């Protein structure tokens, strides 16, 4: 799966990129919200993992843009904004295990199955403890 991974902490970004690549995903990274529109050009991602605390990010606008393009999102961090498309967005709160990230990806509509993952209900917060 082609994934756009956007997070402000470069060390965490590299860690997630490595984990996802090891699972066979093609990962493009961004550490600033201003990079996202450029990275959506071309073939574009099949899914997005987005830290909601990303600098330069208008959360509502970017989530609306992904929804309009039917790109499912795993939103990391705080609760989703009210205008988030619950059908195509999953929320994953920190801290979380790699298995929870894989489960959130699996729960996105129309995505291929990943080994050892469970389904999550639409709009459900994953990783709440």
What DSSP letter does each residue of 79-108 carry, written as one string?
PPPTTS-TTTEEEEPSS--HHHHHHHHHTS
Note the pTM of the prediction, 2 decimals.
Answer: 0.81
Structural domain boundaries in the chain: 2-126
Question: CA triplet 57, 44, 122: central angle to 5 degrees?
Answer: 70
Over residues 37-65, the pLDDT tens digits come to 888 876 789 999 999 989 988 888 888 88
Right CATH for 2-126 from 3.40.800.10, 3.40.50.980, 3.40.50.2300, 3.40.190.10: 3.40.50.2300
């Amino acid at each position: 799966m082609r994934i756009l991974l956007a997070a402000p902490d470069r060390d965490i970004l590299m860690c997630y990129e490595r984990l996802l690549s090891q699972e066979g995903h093609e990962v493009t990274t961004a550490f600033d919200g201003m990079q996202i529109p450029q990275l959506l050009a071309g073939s574009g991602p099949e899914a997005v993992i987005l830290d909601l605390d990303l600098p330069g990010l208008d959360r509502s606008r970017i989530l609306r843009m992904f929804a309009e393009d039917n790109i499912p999102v795993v939103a990391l961090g705080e609760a989703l904004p009210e205008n988030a498309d619950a059908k195509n967005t999953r929320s994953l709160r920190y801290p979380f295990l790699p298995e929870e990230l894989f489960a959130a990806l699996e729960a996105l509509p129309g995505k291929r199955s990943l080994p050892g993952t469970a389904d999550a209900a639409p709009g459900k917060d994953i990783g709440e403890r």
